[in-house]
Chains A and B, each alone.
Chain A
Amino acid sequence: MTGSWKIRLATGLAAPAIALVVALAVSSLALLVSGSSPVTAFRAMATYIDSLDSVINIVNRAVPYYVAGVAVAIGFKMNLFNIGVDGQYRLAALLAAAVGAAVDLPPVLHVTLIMVVAMVVGGSYAAIAGVLKVTRGVNEVVSTIMLNFIATGLSAYLLTTYLQDDAASGLVSGTPELPRSGQLPSLNRLVEAIGIDLPRNAVLRGFLPFAIVIGILFYLVIYRTRFGFELRTSGLNPAAATSSGVNPKAMVMKTIILSGMCAGLIGMGPLLTDLHKYADQFPFQLGFTGIAVALLGRNNPAGIAVAAVVWATIERASQALNPVGIPQEIGRILQGSLLLSAVIAFEVVRRAAAAAAVKEAAARTGEAGEAPAGPPADTMAGAPV
């Protein structure tokens, strides 16, 4: 085998390892400063997640994070910062919940309709930012952030004015509950069928298989299709993409709509398997978690899955901190420092790997390569590709 897979493996493992060590060091420091013992804290966390109950909980949490991470990563792959995933998924979840509650269809069709509505809404809302960018040159970061605010206001208005469940009490606003045909069953029976006994009250939510399908589709579209090739090329080198016959404006529109459609599916886990309606307690800010998870997972389908699980694990584990008298915000510090050190470590290792690849090729051909000293100029810092 050539050395390149070794280099890739080293890149894959070294960076996360370094990042984890740094993150643990930073959180330990924070714990020491606040007068707590890092040993107590990490032991409590480790013990807490070492149960089937916790594992199920982590997987349930990780599923929407994963979908959010993929939605963000689709944009990142062509250097589009879709910060608006947050607004896209909330608007999509609200309208999909309302449509789902308003119709009566056979089970499979009903769920399909809800998901299609969510994708259409998410994609359409994202398309606004695309149109602004393509026609007026508005930076998508700015427009999607503003569209997030608009989505917040719009969904509150729509909910209280038109989509409110009249039968419910006046205190909580929410859409009417989805009929059974519009809900996804849990996977408990499947898990028990393969011989694992679930603890009481543990529910493995039914959106997991869909998330896996989304991940596989993401991989196939981005890495195996012509469209994905053109998308990645546009992200890595827009000028080269243009002279290769890629229409840059069309590519922006396609990418942001695809990202928005995926964003629309973020809320489907909570909606179809858990809450069964869009209400005040509907999880918010999943879009921003998606950005963190996409960065941590390096926009890679498997990497994002790992990142989503890590993110969910830290959240779950933090719940063990309050009982031992340690503020559970330490989990946030762990998440934040992990993300920062991972982004830095990936870049450091990437440069080292690039230098190694040049050296190896030079050694085998006797001619020096032309690697640029820094990162490729068109790769946005913080959006590793």
Chain B
Amino acid sequence: MADQGRAPAIVLHGIVKRFPGVIANDGVELTVRAGTIHAIIGQNGSGKSTLMKTLYGAHRPDEGTIELDGQLAELHSPRDAIAAGIGMVYQHFMLAENLTVWENVVLGQEPGGPFKLDIKGARARVRELSARYGLEVDPDERVATLGVGERQRVEILKVLYRGARTIILDEPTAVLVPQEVDELFASLRELVAGGATVIFISHKLDEVLGVADAITVLRDGRTVAEIDDPHSVTARDLAELMVGSQLPVPETREATVTDVVGLAIEGLGVEEDGRPVLADIDLVVHRGEIVGVAGVEGNGQQELVEAIVGIRPIAAGRIMFDGIDVSGESTRHRRDRGLGYVPEDRHRDGLVLPELLWSNVMLGHQWRRPFARGPWVDRRGARQRSDEIIIDFGVKTPSSEVPAYALSGGNQQKLIIGREMTSEPRVLLASHPTRGIDVGAQGAVWEQMRRARSAGLATLLISADLDELIGLSDRLVVMYRGRVVAELDPAHVTPADLGSYMTGARAPEAA
């Protein structure tokens, strides 16, 4: 199928991309032969998106070279990438709902003169493209009436219309139902037959094995495997490559787990637009225990967190704190029952950036002492508490009187952890508590969580960082497609097991 005589469509060599505090790509190698479907797989944070942004010209690599069709290329912007024949189809569609298919396709590059739109020509071109690549969709249909699979085809038509010969699809199957996935794969085959090259990013291993001609596996920002013959590997092999051959060893420490249940979730179900996003979740966290939730992002973790906090309605089941059913209670009441919450996105959910630190320290506890006296804000109490947190949790700041945005991410996070820990929580919900912060702050956050564990806190820890999950958790559960598919002992878990549950390569034992 691949044209062996041609130079590879894309060769990335030694790509390094650093962001403040993290190295997202650390020597990535990628060779994509023209006229093939090439899959790139890796966990969250393995550097896939950064790599694709590099290839799409959204940012420039700090080191390394890009070769397109055998020629060295410099991509300064997505415009350059489009000019070089590279098109990107994002996971979240960017379509104007009330325009028709052909209008969406030509939008921004309309054929015709400055005053006249060549409607006939545009329609014909769209029809021709969809016939040639087997992307069946009616050009005159309004996008609002289309299903998800058809919308995806419109997105692909958009990049083809702009002259793309290499098409990058970012997790294209995440939004599709199985039948649509089959249709998409058929379209991808047609695209390749028509001379295009397809790069697709995924972590669904069965799908990758079913459709890809070659696979590149990324881990921790590096290429760990380049597989030219997918038939030579199994899903379990890939899972192990993704997760790594060595998992961190949980440090030995005394067990503080009690048999008193702190947080219990029974048969929890959550729906979005009538479609289940969480189903039959049963989870128990004892006092003095940290339960880690592993899983590829987007498999229901966020929904689980929001359901426990009380900002997402639940469709079935119940949530109990200390044996009390809180399912019908407001976030405020759950907070009063001792819910501590460290949100995943501290800027969106955890802080009010322009407000001063002592004001941010009140957030989520604003009706309690020492922050309030009756209906009034107790400024002195809040400042005092804020100063205590700054000292006890090592928040580096000139004072409590600076706006939250003046702190570094690690210090913002330490402030949030301090705020939740000092308000006598009984149940702690920590979602990616060390994401995007430096190693020093990470260690401090972990230490605080361990200390709280020995003080009898029931902690549910959601993370994509395996060091964190295995290092802190007393038990691990794995979520996949809105369900808990496995419960594992962090001391004895193997990379292959963890990887295959996370990617759906292995079905739950007792399902």
Q: Known: A366-B396, A367-B396, A368-B20. Is A361-B363 also a contact (CB below 8 A)?
A: no
Question: Is B352 touching A2 in the complex (CB atoms < 8 A)?
Answer: no
- Bound-state CA distance A237–B353 (Å) is 8
Chain A residues 22-55 with CB under 8 Å of chain B are: none
Q: Known: A237-B351, A357-B406, A358-B405. Is A243-B309 also a contact (CB below 8 A)?
A: yes
Report chain A residues within 8 Å CB of B399: 2
Report chain A residues within 8 Å CB of B343: 243
Instruction: Output the least CB separation between A219 and chain B (Å).
Output: 12
Instruction: Point out the residue from A2, A372, A385 that lies within 8 Å of B405, measured CB to CB.
Output: A372
Report chain A residues within 8 Å CB of B48: none
Question: Is A332 located at the chain interface by the 8 A CB criterion?
Answer: no
- Bound-state CA distance A228–B396 (Å) is 29
- Bound-state CA distance A361–B375 (Å) is 33
Question: Is B362 located at the chain interface by the 8 A CB criterion?
Answer: yes
- Bound-state CA distance A371–B341 (Å) is 23
Question: Is A371 touching B405 in the complex (CB atoms < 8 A)?
Answer: yes
Question: Is B347 touching A370 in the complex (CB atoms < 8 A)?
Answer: yes
**Chain B residue nearest in CB terms to A234:** B352
- Bound-state CA distance A153–B386 (Å) is 53
Instruction: Point out the residue from B362, B364, B401, B410 that lies within 8 Å of A367, measured CB to CB.
Output: B410
Question: Is B366 touching A226 in the complex (CB atoms < 8 A)?
Answer: yes
Chain A residues 173-227 with CB under 8 Å of chain B are: 223-227
Residue of A239, A243, A354, A360 with most chain B CB atoms under a 10 A cut-off: A243
- Bound-state CA distance A233–B349 (Å) is 11
- Bound-state CA distance A332–B377 (Å) is 41
Chain B 311-339 per-residue mask, 1 if CB under 8 angstroms from chain A, else 0: 10000000000000000001111110000
Report chain A residues within 8 Å CB of B359: 229
- Bound-state CA distance A223–B382 (Å) is 14
**Chain B residue nearest in CB terms to A236:** B352
Report chain B residues within 8 Å CB of A243: 309, 311, 331, 341, 343, 349-350, 364
Question: Is B354 touching A229 in the complex (CB atoms < 8 A)?
Answer: no
**Chain A residue nearest in CB terms to B331:** A245
Report chain B residues within 8 Å CB of A240: 348-352, 363
**Chain B residue nearest in CB terms to A221:** B375
- Bound-state CA distance A320–B375 (Å) is 49
Instruction: Output the least CB separation between B18 and chain A (Å).
Output: 15
Question: Is A226 touching B407 in the complex (CB atoms < 8 A)?
Answer: no
Instruction: Point out the residue from B347, B352, B411 that lies within 8 Å of A365, measured CB to CB.
Output: B411
Question: Is B471 located at the chain interface by the 8 A CB criterion?
Answer: no
Instruction: Output the least CB separation between A340 and chain B (Å).
Output: 23
Chain A 303-340 per-residue mask, 1 if CB under 8 angstroms from chain B, else 0: 00000000000000000000000000000000000000
- Bound-state CA distance A157–B56 (Å) is 63
Report chain B residues within 8 Å CB of A354: 354, 403, 405
Report chain B residues within 8 Å CB of A385: 354
Interface of A: prevailing SS: helix
**Chain B residue nearest in CB terms to A368:** B408
Question: Is A230 touching B366 in the complex (CB atoms < 8 A)?
Answer: yes
**Chain A residue nearest in CB terms to B356:** A4
Q: Known: A237-B353, A365-B397. Is A229-B311 also a contact (CB below 8 A)?
A: no
Instruction: Output the least CB separation between B496 and chain A (Å).
Output: 37
Question: Is B376 touching A226 in the complex (CB atoms < 8 A)?
Answer: yes
Instruction: Point out the residue from B347, B375, B397, B401 that lies within 8 Å of A225, measured CB to CB.
Output: B375
Question: Is B412 touching A370 in the complex (CB atoms < 8 A)?
Answer: yes
Question: Is A244 located at the chain interface by the 8 A CB criterion?
Answer: yes
Report chain A residues within 8 Å CB of B377: 223-226, 228-229
Instruction: Point out the residue from A223, A357, A379 that lies within 8 Å of B403, measured CB to CB.
Output: A357
Question: Is B108 located at the chain interface by the 8 A CB criterion?
Answer: no
Chain B 211-253 per-residue mask, 1 if CB under 8 angstroms from chain A, else 0: 0000000000000000000000000000000000000000000
Question: Is B354 touching A236 in the complex (CB atoms < 8 A)?
Answer: yes
Chain B 404-431 per-residue mask, 1 if CB under 8 angstroms from chain A, else 0: 0111111110000000000000000000
Question: Is B349 touching A4 in the complex (CB atoms < 8 A)?
Answer: no
Report chain A residues within 8 Å CB of B366: 226, 229-230, 244
Instruction: Output the least CB separation between B413 and chain A (Å).
Output: 10
- Bound-state CA distance A369–B311 (Å) is 29
Report chain A residues within 8 Å CB of B397: 361, 364-365
- Bound-state CA distance A232–B353 (Å) is 12
Question: Is B355 located at the chain interface by the 8 A CB criterion?
Answer: yes
Instruction: Output the least CB separation between A233 and chain B (Å).
Output: 5
Question: Is A285 located at the chain interface by the 8 A CB criterion?
Answer: no
Question: Is B362 touching A361 in the complex (CB atoms < 8 A)?
Answer: no
Chain B residues 19-46 with CB under 8 Å of chain A are: 20
Question: Is B277 located at the chain interface by the 8 A CB criterion?
Answer: no
- Bound-state CA distance A196–B311 (Å) is 60
Question: Is A237 touching B352 in the complex (CB atoms < 8 A)?
Answer: yes
Report chain A residues within 8 Å CB of B114: none
Residue of A2, A230, A242, A244 with most chain B CB atoms under a 10 A cut-off: A244
Residues of A within 8 A of B (CB): 2, 4, 223-230, 232-233, 236-237, 239-240, 242-247, 354, 357-358, 360-362, 364-372, 376, 379, 385
Contacts A/B (CB < 8 Å), 23 sampled: A2-B398, A224-B376, A226-B366, A233-B355, A240-B349, A240-B351, A242-B311, A243-B311, A243-B343, A243-B364, A244-B365, A247-B330, A358-B405, A361-B402, A362-B406, A366-B396, A367-B407, A369-B407, A370-B405, A370-B409, A371-B405, A371-B406, A372-B353
Residues of B within 8 A of A (CB): 20, 309, 311, 330-335, 341, 343, 347-355, 359, 362-367, 372, 375-377, 379, 396-399, 401-403, 405-412
4 tightest A-B contacts by CB? A245-B332, A361-B406, A365-B396, A244-B364
Q: A240-B352, A243-B309, A385-B354 are in contact. List 20 more A-B contacts (CB 8 A).
A: A2-B401, A223-B377, A224-B379, A225-B377, A227-B375, A233-B355, A245-B330, A245-B332, A354-B354, A357-B402, A360-B398, A361-B397, A362-B406, A367-B408, A367-B410, A368-B20, A369-B405, A369-B408, A370-B412, A372-B353
